[in-house]
DNA sequence: AAATCAGACAACCGCGTGTTC
DNA sequence: CGAACACGCGGTTGTCTGATT
């Protein structure tokens, strides 16, 4: 018998100063969901009074944020998400909520747990006979430094590759814009659909905004393929949505904002991604 | 088959910060 | 301006579950 079943069936949990503690029951979940549906998120301390729950505000908020929220992404952390976690952790450290903001549908708690079980151990120095904590600390620090160096190296390589691609994109984009302007100015309607630029979000937007009769849906979809950070190709056929993937692409290159003003398409993507962060 | 261990995850706790009165 | 309250965050704990011995 599963824990959820047991708690749901028998209503386990302790009472502390009038507040229930421990695992949530299905009935409590229902009450909380109903409360949020009617009153919205926030005012967590009113939940007990308004929803008839014997839970404190903290507990309610936690349950909602980590488990009941409808936009939560269920299932295992994907390799792509994992690489984002690694990257963000290298940058932000244990700022789980910050990291979580870059992974829509994932909670800070989830990421924190994932990190602890998957990476925490790996960063620990290998056990040796020395009880010298300073030595261990130094070793740990060096390992972390090396890990960071490695990450930076990888980023650098990626950056160079992307900058090269961006140059090509921009050239392409300019050509494309001219064509569009010309066509909008009443020139002869284009008989063949112009090739959309590489920028995935841009392509999607334009494909939506402009009708291209000779472009099949399949062709438009295939335009959304782009290399993922781990070298694999992520396509529209993956279980994550293209829009989300696009956001990642933008988030991966935040450094570009300061360093590469020429990358207008990127900057544009950032502005698109910002509301989700 | 039973015992042990490690991974996974939900939930709690303490603290810091922002907001309201 | 300061106290009280609400909220969010990060650390930690407790328990289940599946794998291994």
B4 C1' to A183 CA distance, Å: 73
| Per-chain mean pLDDT for chain A | 57
- Whether the per-residue pLDDT at A224 is higher than 80: the answer is no
State residue A254's pLDDT score. Answer: 34
Whether the pLDDT of residue A70 is over 60: the answer is yes
3-state secondary structure of A11: coil
In this predicted structure, the answer to whether residue A162 has a pLDDT above a threshold of 60 is yes
What pLDDT does A261 receive?
A: 31
Strand B-proximal protein residues, Cβ less than 7 Å: A 13, 16, 20-24, 58-59, 62-63, 66-67, 76, 109-110, 112-114, 116-118, 121
Closest nucleotide over all strands to A3 (CA to C1'):
C16
* Strand nucleotide closest to residue A68 (CA to C1'): B10
Give the single-character DSSP code of A241: -
pLDDT band at A86 (very low <50, low <70, confident <90, very high): confident
Q: How confident is the model at residue A225 (pLDDT cuts 50, 70, 90)?
A: very low
- Average pLDDT, stretch A249-264? 33
Name the E strands within chain A.
15-16, 19-20, 226-227, 233-234
Query: What is the model's pLDDT at position A151?
Result: 53
**Amino acid A254 CA to nucleotide B2 C1' distance, rounded Å:** 54
Q: What is the pLDDT of residue A189?
A: 36
* Residue A45 scores a pLDDT above 50: yes
Given a cut of 60, whether residue A180 has pLDDT beyond it is: no
Read off φ and ψ for residue A238, nearest 5 degrees. -70, 165
Whether A85 and A96 have beta carbons less than 8 Å apart is answered as no
Q: Which nucleotide is nearest to A45 (CA to C1')?
A: C6
pLDDT above 80: residue A131: no
Distances (CA, A) of A243 to A94, A225, A238, A265, A269: 27, 12, 12, 15, 11
């Amino acid at each position: 018998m599963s824990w959820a079943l047991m708690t749901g069936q028998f209503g386990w949990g302790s009472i502390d100063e009038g507040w229930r503690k421990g695992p949530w029951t299905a009935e409590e979940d229902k009450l909380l969901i109903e409360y949020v549906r009617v009153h919205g998120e926030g005012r967590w301390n009113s939940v007990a009074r308004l929803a008839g729950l014997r839970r404190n505000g903290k507990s309610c908020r936690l349950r909602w944020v980590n488990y009941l929220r409808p936009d939560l992404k269920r299932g295992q952390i994907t390799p792509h998400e994992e690489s984002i976690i690694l990257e963000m952790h290298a940058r932000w450290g244990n700022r789980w909520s910050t990291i979580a903001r870059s992974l829509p549908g994932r909670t800070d708690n989830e990421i924190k747990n994932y990190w602890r079980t998957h990476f925490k151990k790996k960063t620990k120095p290998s056990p040796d006979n020395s009880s010298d904590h300073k030595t261990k600390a130094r070793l740990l620090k060096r390992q972390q430094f090396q890990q960071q160096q490695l990450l930076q190296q990888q980023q650098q390589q990626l950056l160079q590759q992307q900058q090269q691609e961006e140059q090509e994109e921009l050239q392409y984009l300019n050509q494309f814009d001219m064509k569009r302007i010309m066509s909008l100015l009443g020139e002869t309607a284009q008989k063949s659909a112009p090739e959309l630029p590489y920028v995935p979000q841009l392509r999607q937007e334009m494909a939506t905004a402009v009708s291209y009769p000779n472009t099949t849906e399949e062709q438009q979809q295939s335009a959304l393929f782009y290399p993922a950070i781990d070298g694999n190709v992520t396509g529209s056929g993956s279980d994550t949505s293209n829009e989300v993937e696009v956001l990642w692409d933008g988030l991966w290159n935040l450094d570009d904002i300061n360093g590469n003003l020429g990358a207008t398409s990127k900057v544009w993507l950032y502005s698109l991604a910002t509301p989700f962060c």
